Amino acid sequence: MTSPLPPFDWDIFCTVVDNFGDIGVTWRLARQLEREGHGEVRLWVDDLASFARICPGLNPALDRQWVEGIHIQRWQGPLPADAIPARVVIEAFACELPAPFIKRMAEQSPPPCWINLEYLSAESWVEDCHGLASPQRVGKLSLDKFFFFPGFTAKTGGLLCEQGLIAERERWQQDEAGLAAYWASLGLPPRAQDELRISLFTYESEALKSLVQCWSQGATPVTLLLPLGRSLNDVLSGAGLESAIDTTRAGDLLQAGQLAIKLLPMTSQADYDRLLWSCDLNLVRGEDSFVRAQWAARPFLWHIYPQDDQAHIAKLNDFLDHYLSSLPDLADLPTDAAHWLRAFNHALNHGQDVRELWAQWPQFGTIWQQHARSWSQKLLADGDLVTRLVKFLESRI
């Protein structure tokens, strides 16, 4: 006989859209809420198989289970009869709650606080919409749904960042013996003095072929840490290793001129954070890895999720306007470096040849590193997302 479930403080609903992005964000949110003492969390997920690839302790065959203090509930078919809505219900990325669940919410007294957690955006209109209520009719009853926008300014919801994360990053990056042990755990020697170590987790892009070609033919040794995924074919093609595309496996170490490619399996979020902290440059995609690259305080390029109407390019520009602007009380990014960074991000997202851009890394790499550290400090000036979310809810529960 199963034990009755406790009353939950948080229900978080997530539809897995692009394998790891949406579930990556909601899983981090759920764990931070639980670990920082904000109550019991239930996470509803429609695709447990994809979820399990970033959460090794999850069994995708089970409909309900506890993992790291979070109750994971498969979100498919009719709702469980005992699913009483929590005090706060989060609809992640407009995933549309089941109508029976909304009805149960409306029948509660007082009703739960309903949050629509939106995608991260640097667009200017986000500040005006953040925190707005949208009245919802449920039969003869009504509920307010509040829009909560993650963002990069004090007038938005901020970014997910767990307490202690930055201190942990600092300890990691300053521990030479620990870094050597980390590289050894991946089957690699310690980083050589003149070597670059780069992680790459992007979508497909023709730009990758020219970039990888630069690394393999250049004068600087490069080790590329490549989680298996959508960019594999472009990377191996650029390295002249097309014949290995169908036979490569996680753990393989491939060599092409000055470039060594270490293939990695999909891993836990904590291990991915450490990979970002350890590399000199990170190429990331989507939302979750994009945010974690910023907390790594290392140079990064963002491959934003492509949209047919090119709306993603406007969103990229809005972010770069923030990222490349002067930072109060911190060193300004030189104009030529800012122009180079903007061009590099655009070339990656447009699939353009990047050989001339990469040739300027020796000129701008150091100032980019300094800017990345200053940027990560600026982002936390007004608090992280969970801190802002809890404060937002205090007057509404």
Considering the candidates 11, 22, 47, 91, report the single residue annotated as catalytic: 22
- For residues 301 and 227, give the distance between their C-alpha atoms in angstroms, rounded to a whole number: 16
Residue 194 corresponds to which amino acid? D
Q: CA torsion sign, 355 to 357 to 360 to 361?
A: negative
Does residue 318 have an active-site annotation?
Answer: no
- For residues 4 and 355, give the distance between their C-alpha atoms in angstroms, rounded to a whole number: 60
How many secondary structure helices (H) and strands (E) does the chain include? 15, 14
Query: What tokens were used for 40?
Result: 């019991």
Does residue 287 have an active-site annotation?
Answer: yes
Query: What tokens were used for 25?
Result: 């964000």
Considering the candidates 234, 287, 288, 384, report the single residue annotated as catalytic: 287
Residue 185 corresponds to which amino acid? S
Beta-carbon contacts of residue 109 (< 8 Å; ≥ 6 apart): none
- For residues 358 and 207, give the distance between their C-alpha atoms in angstroms, rounded to a whole number: 11
| Number of C-beta neighbours around residue 7 at 10 A | 11
Query: What tokens were used for 267?
Result: 């891993």
- For residues 61 and 41, give the distance between their C-alpha atoms in angstroms, rounded to a whole number: 20
- For residues 208 and 275, give the distance between their C-alpha atoms in angstroms, rounded to a whole number: 20
Under DSSP, is residue 105 helix (H, G, I), strand (E, B) or coil?
Answer: helix
- For residues 290 and 51, give the distance between their C-alpha atoms in angstroms, rounded to a whole number: 18
Instruction: Characterise 213 by phi-psi region: left (phi > 0), alpha (psi -120 to 50), beta (else).
Output: alpha
Q: Are 169 and 295 in contact (CB under 8 A)?
A: yes
Q: What is the dihedral of CA 51, 53, 56, 58, to 10 degrees?
A: 30
In terms of Cα–Cα distance, which of 340, 345, 296, 299 is closest to 319? Answer: 345
Catalytic residues: 22, 287
